[in-house]
Each structure stands twice: as structure tokens, then as C-alpha cells.
Amino acid sequence: MRILRNYILKEFFGFFFISLGLFTFVMFIGNLVKIINLIIGKGIEILAVFKLFGYLIPYLLTYTLPIAILSAILLLLGRLSSDNEIIGIQASGINIIYITVPLLIVSLIFALFLLILNDRIIPSNHFAFYKAVKDIGIRNPAAFLEPGVFINNFDKYIIFIYHIEGNKLFNIRIYEPQSLDKIPRTIIAKRGEFISLPEKSMIKLKLIDGTSDEPDPDNPENFYKLNFKTYFINLNLTKESYSEEPKKKPKDMNIKELKVEIEKTKRMGIEPLPLITHLHKRIALSFSSFVFVLIGIPLGLIARRKERTINFALTFLIIGIYYLSLLGCETLSIEGFIKPEIGIWLPNIAFIVVGILLFYRVCGY
């Protein structure tokens, strides 16, 4: 039995690491365009960009690790079935359920690892990512500004930029809202650029060739046009956009902090359904690896396919059903149609029930 167990685990981990590398690479490639745009189009340093994406790797593992486990199970059992090794094991008088026990134990170990990952590592990495983005936003403001949209991340001013090339701005409109029913002060410039002052947590905007509405000294409510060749504006990010220690969002909190936030929200008289939903979703996702193995083992034995394309197709079908179900249940839980404590766990429960039924069918009970 030990030889058989070691053989099964060796084959499983071989398929697992190949699948994990493949799925993680595919998800990373999905963000490659963003990386290239940040480096070339936005002028952000390569090390800073890869540091940002380094923070996201643990988050990717939340999804790629369970998917890799499911894929490895289907590939392993498909090969064993097609090579008649399953029949040979059964002919030796060994119940098929015994070769699945090590795989179930491994899946539980992975589930506990994912629970630690989702509780400790991912929230801290997400918070570090958030702060790193703020730091880049101070050092290279143009990197996170979009042309053709109103930008209201700065105190006092609303900025509209028609075109951005690196740190160079073209055709700029700056509005300084006044009190209600009053025309806002307007500054227009043909060109401009940001001058970063990270040590002061401040950004200076240099405007070139434009006009500015300046208040009349005799009647401050009236403005007169002032033509300028060069004009400087000091921009301070809003408190919501930047602070010395940004406030944590639910994604940045560990499970203990989420529970404290839930109780705090309840004391304020607010229904904390989104927070409760997020808490249970984080735990439910951790056990998706066990759920996938429980349903993947009998499906792999039933399929009896060696072709990897078919096994990958079956993998995507299962994860598609699971994550779409989870998304639907999450929406229903947030909207209050079903309790989050029940709704978020429904996909896991459904997959476990189906997996157990299939186990009974495969094992001949």
C-alpha cells in the first residue's frame, strides 16, 4: 500500500506543478498588456511595476492552486484509467477508495494553506499594493491619470486633460468650484507637466501657454482673464486619495479584523451584509481545493480519458459552474435574499453532495 500511495502522490504532484505553472502563467499573461502599458506608456520604473504584480501573485494562487489541483486529479486518473492501471489495482483486491484517501488528505492540507493565505498573506499584500500605488501616484502622477475624464482626486480642483504622453499633458482644463449657483474659476492651458514633491506628499502642476480666471481685488466674486506663459499650481491629494496610513478596506483586513469591523458596523445600526459575505467567501474559497478533489476523483474515474485536452475542458467546465454559482450566491447574499452564512456555502455544499453521490456510484456501493 505504501508503494501504491507514493506512486499515486508522485504522479499527482507531477501533474499539479505543471498545471499550476501553466494556469498562473496564463493569468499573468492576461495582465502583461497592463505591465507593458505601465512601463512604456506611463513611464513607471520596471522594478516598481513588477513589485506591484509581485503583491498580486498570492491572490492569483487563491484561484490557480485549486484549479491546478482539479486539473492534476483529472489528468492523473485519466491516465491511470486509460492505461488500465485502475483495473489492475481493483484486480489486486484493493478497493479504489483507498487510492483516493491520500489525494483527499493532500487537498485538505492545501485547503488549510489557502485559509492561511487568504487570512494573513493576501490581505497584507493587498494593503501593501494599495500603498505602493499611492506612492507611485505621488512620484509619477500622470501614470494613473486617464485622458478624457474628470479627475477629482485633488483638493479644490477638478482637472480634465485631453491628451497625456508620459509626464506631458496637452489641452488642460482646471476647474475650481465656488459656492452653489456660482461659476467655477477656470484655468486653461495648452501644455503642462507634473513636478513631483514626494517628500512633501505634494504635486506641483506646471502649466504653459494659457489663461486663468483671477478674482477681482475690488469684487472677489468677479473674475478677469489673465494670460500666462508659465503658471504653477500646488495640488494636494484629497484625504480619501492619500494619507500617511490609508484606511484598510475589507480586502485588506484579516478574518479577525473583519469580525471587528462587522461588530462595529452593527453598533452603528448598519446592516453589514457585504462584510459578512466577504468573510464567508474568503473561507469558502479556501476549501474549494477539497471540493474540487471530491468531485474530480469520481469524474476522472468515470471519464477514462487520456487525452489532456478533454481533461482540461472538463476542468474548465467544473470551475466555470463553481465560480458562476459562487458569484450568483454572492450577489444574492449581498442583496439580502439569502443569509451569507448559507448562500456563500451553497456551491461548496452542492459540489460535496454531488461528489459523494458519484463516489458511491464509482465504488459500487
What is residue 242's predicted lDDT score, i.e. its pLDDT? 46
Q: Tell me if 140 sits within 8 A of 43, measured CB to CB.
A: yes
In whole angstroms, give the CA distance from residue 197 to residue 199. Answer: 6
pLDDT digits 0-9 by tens, 225-251: 888 999 888 876 544 444 455 567 788
Give the three-class secondary structure for 270: coil
pLDDT over 90 (residue 81): no
In whole angstroms, give the CA distance from residue 312 to residue 127. Answer: 34
pLDDT digits 0-9 by tens, 323-355: 999 999 999 998 889 999 999 999 999 999 999
Cell of 228: 500666462
pLDDT digits 0-9 by tens, 68-80: 999 999 888 888 8
What is residue 65's predicted lDDT score, i.e. its pLDDT? 93
Q: Which amino acid is at 170?
A: F
- Burial category of 309 from C-beta neighbours within 10 Å (exposed 0-12, middle 13-18, buried 19 and up): exposed
Computed from CA positions of residues 258, 259, 263, 264, in that sequence, does the dihedral angle turn out positive or negative?
Answer: negative
pLDDT digits 0-9 by tens, 280-330: 999 999 999 999 999 988 888 776 555 566 777 888 899 999 999 999 999
Mean predicted confidence (pLDDT) in 11-29: 89
Residue bearing the bigger pLDDT, 90 or 201: 90
What are the backbone dihedrals phi and psi of residue 300, each rounded to the nearest 5 degrees, phi first?
Answer: -65, -35
The DSSP code for 237 is B
In whole angstroms, give the CA distance from residue 60 to residue 304. Answer: 30
Report yes or no on whether pTM surpasses 0.75. Answer: no
